[in-house]
Structure 1
Amino acid sequence: VGCGYHAYKWDANKEGGRAASQNGLGVDFTQQVPPLAITMTKAMTNTITDKSGKRWNIMIVPDKECVVNSGLSSTRGGKMASYMYAHDGIGRERLKNPRIFRGDQWLDTGWDNAMALYAGLTKKILDNDGPSALFFDCFDHGGAGGGFENTWGTGKLMSAHCRRRSRPQQSYTTA
């Protein structure tokens, strides 16, 4: 179980109204909103451009009904919108392609090549030395196994003993 959020997307050239029926959040901004009634920060918004060149505003806000975060945001979750790719935002720094370290430099490669390399190397290790010979570089930001969510594909291969504290019955099997 992870923190719950709602994602909203609307045309960058349109704005909603102040009445609850006029905006996607369903919040009445015609009067003072009570303290802690909704969590909204600048980091929860962004303007992105899709492949066709159309610009969209996005907002990702905590879900008040979620039993994990009860409408509050985590440090990482409260900034999800800012991570979305925008040519002028922090998302521009993210990798767009898988990379392979060859010689003394990182080189872009295609997904088919990266997956073939990963699967082939993993199979070779498993065939020659067994599952205990596999090692992974992973992290956990301290949020009940969130690091394993970020590396979920790898996390499933890691260990039968790799469990999230919030769901101890969930275990990951080795390849």
Structure 2
Amino acid sequence: MAESEAILAAWDAYSDRHSDADGWPLDEVAYGWRMVQRDSETWRAFLPVRPGARQLLATAAFQLQHLSAGDIAPHWPSHLRDLNQALDRLEELRRGHAEVREARRTSGPVSQEKFIDSVAERNEEAWGYLDTWAAKGHVLLDVHAAAYKAPVRWVPTPAPTTVPARRAGRHV
């Protein structure tokens, strides 16, 4: 998350310096290439999180169910839903690009330019979903911290209905 936040901060700084007062790029080509770089860096920053993201979301959802209402921030459930939806879309984009890679490998040559364009297109489409993870991913840590601090809810187990028999000849 920190890496994604740094990428976004660098992008904001670049955009501020290279846009006019109305927010239009001063040099559309350079701005576009910098946007492609931002999208690529953001995709790469998410790669270490992606394999375990579904489990992180499931764990947070489970923890949320076991917290008392007073320990839950009102935005946590919606943030978890947003992260789930963003992850679903990121997985769709990843699968789509994997199909392009596979086609390139198996069905004859696909130009390097077409392949690079598919990567850039995937990254561009993914950027908003990755930004959701950068902006709201902290909810996973927040829920975990609340679950860690919450008192353990002890549910008494009923006593056994039968007493185990003692073995003959042994005294404890």
* Structure whose residues are more often strand by fraction: 1
TM-score by length of 1: 0.21
TM-score (norm 2): 0.22
Q: Which has the higher contact order (CA 8 A, sep 6+)?
A: 2
Structure having the higher helix fraction is 2
